[in-house]
Chain A
Amino acid sequence: DGGITQSPKYLFRKEGQNVTLSCEQNLNHDAMYWYRQDPGQGLRLIYYSQIVNDFQKGDIAEGYSVSREKKESFPLTVTSAQKNPTAFYLCASSWPGQGNTEAFFGQGTRLTVV
């Protein structure tokens, strides 16, 4: 089945540690996205990538980093510089091209930093 896989579903880390969230897609989509979902805040864009080896900052990129070395993969690293990292993180992918395509979402990773 085609889809987007985020792993793990739940992740716990100690404060001050970097942590990497995985996102893999087999939909052959060029564009991939990372969002953070907090209660009452909706989905806020962290980073997005339209093509391999290229990515752009979203609205809340501070404290996060990404890479896009392969079309299928778009890992997100939550660094120790992120002041409030505990959140639900969603990865998405789509076909780029003048925006006339919807995004498909993974199941999400809930990160808790203690």
Chain B
Amino acid sequence: AQSVSQHNHHVILSEAASLELGCNYSYGGTVNLFWYVQYPGQHLQLLLKYFSGDPLVKGIKGFEAEFIKSKFSFNLRKPSVQWSDTAEYFCAVNLNRDDKIIFGKGTRLHILP
């Protein structure tokens, strides 16, 4: 069965630290990849997406992610986090063949001021 794995369930960082959240998926076909963010009390928002082309994609608020096809990975990065980045982050995969969107279990990020 198709699945999405997020390696870190809970991450605690100090402000200005660098961030990398891991995401791997299991599916051999063509996929589109997403990172969503859920700030406390708010609805899910799209952070960035990869459809095709340059495997390094840039999103909102200084986030970026790199698609490495050979590793089935789509890791999220930010060079210097801020307190306002405290949120839950979800990696998601859209299986092109049927528009089924599968999410990982999420990573809860807590930034210390």
Measured CB to CB, the residues of A under 8 A from B are 31, 33, 35, 40-45, 48, 50, 56, 58-59, 90, 92, 94, 96-103, 105-108
B92 to chain A, nearest CB (A): 8
Which of B78-113 touch A at CB < 8 Å?
90, 92, 94-96, 98-106
What interface size band does chain B fall in? 20 to 34
Give bound CA distance, A58 to B95, whole Å.
13
* Cβ contact within 8 Å between A100 and B32: yes
Chain B residues with CB below 8 A from A48, complex form: 99-101
Can you name 9 A-B residue pairings with CB atoms under 8 Å?
A31-B99, A45-B102, A56-B100, A99-B96, A101-B94, A102-B34, A103-B92, A103-B101, A106-B43
Q: Are A40 and B43 in contact (CB under 8 A)?
A: no
Which residue of B has the minimal Cβ distance to A108?
A: B43
Q: Which of A43, A106, A107 has the most CB of B within 10 A?
A: A43
- Cβ–Cβ contact A99 & B9, under 8 A: no
6 extra interface residue pairs, beta carbon distance < 8 Å, beyond A42-B105, A103-B101, A105-B44:
A40-B106, A42-B104, A42-B106, A45-B103, A98-B96, A108-B43
Contact residues in A for B36 (Cβ distance below 8 Å): 105
